[in-house]
Every structure is written in structure tokens, then in C-alpha cells.
Amino acid sequence: MRIELAPAARHELVAAADAYEIQRGGRGRDFAAAVQETSTWIARFPLLGPPFPGVRSDLGYRRRVVTGFPFVLAYRIASKGIRIEAVAHMRRGPDYWKGRLR
């Protein structure tokens, strides 16, 4: 399936990768690679991600943890593919992005 990154999610990805890179050279690249790997997993098995807690089930949002990092990808299966709505840090108020729901 085709993966689309919402503009806000793209910004979150870049900001987190930049922050990791400042902490330790190469860590930002590792984070971006882990997000890509998680996105590939979602594209192959979109229904295996559990529903996102606290979101109405009829909206169809699911989540997948980014391996090795305290982040989760919040996504929705749409007719044109999969839209990742947020690259959310799990320890920094991970519900902030829910205001973006349609």
C-alpha cells in the first residue's frame, strides 16, 4: 500500500531526527531508518497495528511503535493508501495530535 506522511507528521519526523542527531551523530539517521522500517511494516500489514487508544474506533486510527525509540506512528487506512498522521513521542503527551483528526 502507498504511504502518505501528513505535513505535521513530516515536521515531527524531521524535528525528532534533528534532535537525535544533535545528541549523538548518526542517531538521527538511525531514527529516520527506524521510522521507514516501521512504515514498511505498516504498508505490508496495515490491520495488525492495534487501534489507537482514546480515539473513536469508527475513525480507524491505528498505531505502531517505532522499534528502538519512544515514538509511535499514528496512522489511518484510507482508500488511496495509508496516511501517517503523527510521529508522536510516547513520553511527551502522545495525545496532542488528536486535534488533527477529521
pLDDT at 21: 95
The answer as to whether 80 is a domain residue is: yes
- Compute the distance between CA of residue 30 and CA of residue 60 in angstroms, rounded to an integer: 29
Confidence (pLDDT) at 36:
97
Residue 98 lies in a domain: no
Q: What's this model's pTM, rounded to 2 decimal places?
A: 0.89
Tell me whether residue 24 is in a domain.
Answer: yes
Q: Which CATH number is 50's domain given?
A: 3.30.2310.20
Q: Domain count of the chain? A: 1
Residue 18 covered by a domain: yes
Residue 55: what pLDDT? Answer: 81
Q: Would you say residue 96 lies in a domain?
A: no
CA atoms within 13 A on the CB side of 60: 11
Looking at the domain assignment, is residue 7 inside a domain? yes
Domain membership flag for residue 86: yes
Domain that holds residue 55: 3-91
pLDDT (tens, 9 = 90+) of the chain, 102 residues, equals 899 999 999 999 999 999 999 999 999 999 999 999 999 999 999 999 999 887 877 788 899 999 999 999 999 998 889 999 999 998 877 677 777 776
pLDDT at 58: 79
- pLDDT in the model for residue 28: 95
